[in-house]
Amino acid sequence: MSKAEESEGEVVIAFQPHGRRDLFSVGVSLLDAARELGIDISSLCGGKGLCGKCKVKVVEGAECLSPPEPLELRFLTKEELEASYRLACRARVLAPCKVVIFVPERSRIGKQRLQAEGLEVPVMRLNPAVRKYFVKMSPPTLESATFDDEMVLNALAEQYGLSGLDFHYEVLRFLPKVLREANWEVTVTVWKDTIIDVEPGDTTNRCFGFACDIGSTKLAGFLMDLNTGKVLSVAAKMNPQVMYGEDILTRVTYVMQNGWKGLEDLQRAVAEAINEMIEECCQKAGVKPEEVYETVFVGNTAMMMFFLKIWPEFVAKAPFQPPRMRGVNLPAREVGVKCHPRANLYFLDTIGGWVGADNAANMIVTKLFDSEELGMCIDVGTNTEIGIGCKATGVLYSSCASGPAFEGMTIRHGMRAADGAIEKVAIDPETLEPTYRVIGDVKPVGICGSGIVDVVAALLKSGIIDWTGRFNKELALRSKRIRLGPDGLEYVIAWREETASGEHDIVFTQRDVREVQKAKAAIHAVASILCELHNVTEKDIKVLYVAGAFGNYIDPESARTIGMYPEVPLERIKFIGNSAGTGARMALISVDEREHITKAIRDGRIRHFEIAAYPKFYNEYVSSMYFPHKDLKRFPEVVELLRRLGTHPEIEEALKLGTKR
């Protein structure tokens, strides 16, 4: 027993999964204890019990805590109460004892989540395509002279049992020189069956690779040690293709207008940014770019086409057929990527339509197609891709244009997730006053995607909007935050004097709500249709993987409240961060991972379903426009919450009608 645990009159609180614990005085709130230990738990309202973001599960010692307050009951569902969930800000320890608290992922703040995902990746087998071998040979004599190439191949066979190799023709150019200058002691670099370099001496410990996720907005790059599978350094950049169009279709149009030259423009822009990332990563890790022997890239179908200079016109037109299914190998230098002169570039497989290699990477990470349990993987962005399935059924993938709403683009005061963006919002149902958090802890400038989802959920929970998304104009009488603006009714999140510019109030309008409604309806409809195609319901989803930085920051409860995600218990939601980048890293260090995913796609165990062609889609889309859904039976927990809050008479009405029928 540790000293902490044997003390009397004091409280031991342990936090999982962090594994941190310490002694606290009786009366401490769980939130204060967590903060003292440096464990960041989401909280917007500053511990007033108003935002409901700080839910934690009490694993041990529940009996020593203060009983749940009425404030808490607003945010906790019956299931959650039964499972010992509490708001960390309201629950206090009333007696000396040991308390063990589990902080669910959704209650951790984004920053921690990203760190928590870790940079080391578990793969099927550490098996990079590139390996180095040190060989020693006896210099040839007149009697023993054969051929330079055969000597190296024989040495590799004798010393390492390798066979079936051959040289990249360029290596033959300097092979005679390097063998003799190195006195026949050289390191041979092999990519698959091809010898791509021969260097003097033993450089086997210098073998690196670069993995990269090309997002339409952001690029993320990772320098990895191929001998250990570890990440050495990381870099991120904006995708400079935004110069040619914020969204993908604008970029495709740019190519249509400028022809192959236009495609070259897009390509050069991203290649230059990638080279800067490679340089940055290399500099951080003390590696030379020429020591990077392979690169792996992922990105959606359009990103692949722009990067590999594939004519992109037709994937933007019905029937949206992409050019390529299988992963593509090519010399990195052919698309201007500067690393080892004979480095390979591997772009992962496309699943179908707009569902590209980034989602293939998500599948590498989640292995949904190998899973015994039904799962769903969602990657939210301007385009949202959703895959649902398991080993028995295979995974069906589809995508929808979730619109630029979540990128903040069609929203009155929307903005990207940068400093000054309101990223979390809660509204007190009593006072209708908001609390919010701003990225960078500065005065607010606008509202970003996660804030947008939060504000819609808060507007709904507080009854400011009804289940059809309409503002309740009656409430304008109760709060001056609800008022008529140029776009109809609107809610003031921040008065101008609170804002960075001081020039205008930050509002969320009726029109903004409509934009979010369309986006969330499309997403939910896809998930719903995919379930139907598998003959399952949303309730059968045992795990919901939320991929992508954006999905990572969205409050899952808010997303579920507005009916954007299916109503799966929050415990089943797993945040996998930038799993496209993670999958790219896994593919970089393991050829098995590449082959495994390629086979799954070729065998149809992961397949694309073109939802635009599906007759039931439009009906489901319209039903999904409701908050949370026209069919309330699909969201029993959300309905229970809204009824408890008492803010939605129209839902009570609908339920009555439903019962009567």
Of the candidate spans 1-9, 147-155, 398-406, 560-568, the one that interacts with a second copy by CB under 8 A turns out to be 147-155
The residue written with tokens 């919901």 in the block is 544
Of 1 and 169, CB closest to a second copy: 169
- Give the x-and-dash track for 102-141 against a second copy (CB under 8 A): --------------------------------------xx
Contact segment (CB under 8 A) with a second copy among 173-181, 236-244, 557-565, 580-588 equals 173-181
Scanning 176-184, 417-425, 434-442, 586-594 for contacts with a second copy by CB under 8 A, the matching segment is: 176-184
Q: What is the 3-state secondary structure (H, E, C) of 42-78?
A: CCCCCCCCCCCCCEEEEEECHHHECCCCHHHHCCCCH
Which of these ranges, 28-36, 162-170, 376-384, 530-538, lies near a second copy under the rule CB under 8 A?
A: 162-170
Nearer to a second copy, 105 or 349 (CB): 349
Smallest gap from residue 497 Cβ to a second copy (A): 53
Query: Residue 55 in contact with residue 86, Cβ under 8 Å?
Result: yes
Cα(131)–Cα(293) distance, rounded to whole angstroms? 9
* CB closer to a second copy out of 289 and 356: 356
In the complex, what is the shortest distance from the CB of residue 350 to a second copy, in angstroms, rounded to a whole number?
7
Which tokens hold the place of 10?
Answer: 């004091």
Dihedrals phi, psi of 300, to nearest 5 degrees:
-70, 175
* Nearest distance from C-beta of residue 359 to a second copy, angstroms: 15
Q: Which of 310, 476, 533, 536 binds a second copy (CB under 8 A)?
A: 310
- Residue 213 and residue 365: Cα distance in Å, rounded? 14
Answer for which of 100, 124, 172, 500 binds a second copy (CB under 8 A) is 172
Instruction: Tell which one of 78, 311, 370, 603 touches a second copy (CB under 8 A).
Output: 311
Q: Please, are residues 424 and 451 in contact by the beta-carbon 8 Å criterion? A: yes
How many of the other CB atoms lie within 10 Å of CB of 440? Answer: 11
Phi, psi of 55 (to 5 degrees): -65, 135
Binding-site string for a second copy from residue 312 to residue 351, where x marks contact by CB under 8 A and - marks none: xxxx--xxxxxxxxx-xxx---x---------------x-
Residues 6+ apart with CB under 8 A from 35: 41
Question: Binding segment for a second copy among 305-313, 362-370, 426-434, 468-476 (CB under 8 A)?
Answer: 305-313
Stretch that binds a second copy, among 5-13, 288-296, 311-319, 504-512 (CB under 8 A): 311-319
* Residues in 581-620 that interact with a second copy by CB under 8 A: 610, 612-613
User: Could you give the 3-state DSSP secondary structure of residue 429?
Assistant: coil
Exposed, middle or buried, 144 (CB in 10 Å: 0-12/13-18/19+)?
A: exposed
- Beta-bridged to residue 414, according to DSSP, are 447
- In the complex with a second copy, the residue whose CB is nearer, 621 or 635, is 621
> CB–CB of 310/264 below 8 Å?
no
Smallest distance from the beta carbon of 441 to a second copy, in angstroms?
47
Q: Does 157 bind a second copy (CB under 8 A)?
A: no
The C-alpha angle with vertex 247 and arms to 246 and 251, in degrees rounded to 5, equals: 90
What's the min distance (Å) between Cβ of 396 and a second copy? 15
- Give the Cα separation of 544 and 52 in Å (integer): 22
Closest listed residue to residue 421, CA positions, set 506, 515, 496: 506
Quick one: 152 or 448, whose CB is closer to a second copy? 152
Nearer to a second copy, 147 or 618 (CB): 147
Nearest residue (CB) to a second copy, 106 versus 607: 607
Q: Say which residues have a Cβ less than 8 Å from residue 555's Cβ, sequence separation at least 6.
A: 42, 53, 106, 424, 450, 453, 454, 457
Q: d(Cα 529, Cα 203) in Å, to the nearest integer?
A: 54
600 alpha-carbon distance from chain centroid? 22
Of the pair 328, 453, the CB lying nearest a second copy is at 328
- Name the one range near a second copy by CB under 8 A: 68-76, 99-107, 148-156, 620-628: 148-156
Pick between residue 155 and residue 405 the one whose CB is nearest to a second copy. 155
Do residues 390 and 374 touch, judged by C-beta distance below 8 A? yes
Residue 145 Cβ, how far from a second copy at the closest point, in Å? 4
What is the closest distance, in whole angstroms, from the C-beta atom of residue 346 to a second copy in the complex?
11
Q: Which of 83, 157, 174, 618 binds a second copy (CB under 8 A)?
A: 174
- Number of residues that make up the chain: 661
The CA distance from 189 to 197, in Å, is: 5
Angle between helices 579-589 and 357-366 (to 10 degrees): 80
Q: Looking up tokens 């995902």, which residue turns up?
A: 117
Binding part of the chain for a second copy, among 49-57, 302-310, 376-384, 577-585 by CB under 8 A, reads 302-310
Separation between Cα atoms, residue 531 and residue 529, nearest integer Å: 5
Size of the site for a second copy (CB under 8 A): 49
In the complex, the smallest distance separating the C-beta of residue 313 from a second copy, rounded to whole angstroms, is 7
CA distances for 357 relative to 228, 304, 326, 579, 592, angstroms: 25, 8, 10, 11, 16
Tokens of 296: 């792996």
Distance CA(592)–CA(32), nearest Å, equals 46
In the complex with a second copy, the residue whose CB is nearer, 93 or 188, is 188
Nearest residue (CB) to a second copy, 311 versus 495: 311
**The one segment of 105-113, 306-314, 512-520, 566-574 that binds a second copy by CB under 8 A:** 306-314
As measured in angstroms, the least distance from the Cβ of 144 to a second copy is 8
Q: Which residues bind a second copy (CB under 8 A)?
A: 140-150, 166-167, 169-170, 172-177, 180, 308-315, 318-326, 328-330, 334, 350, 352-353, 610, 612-613
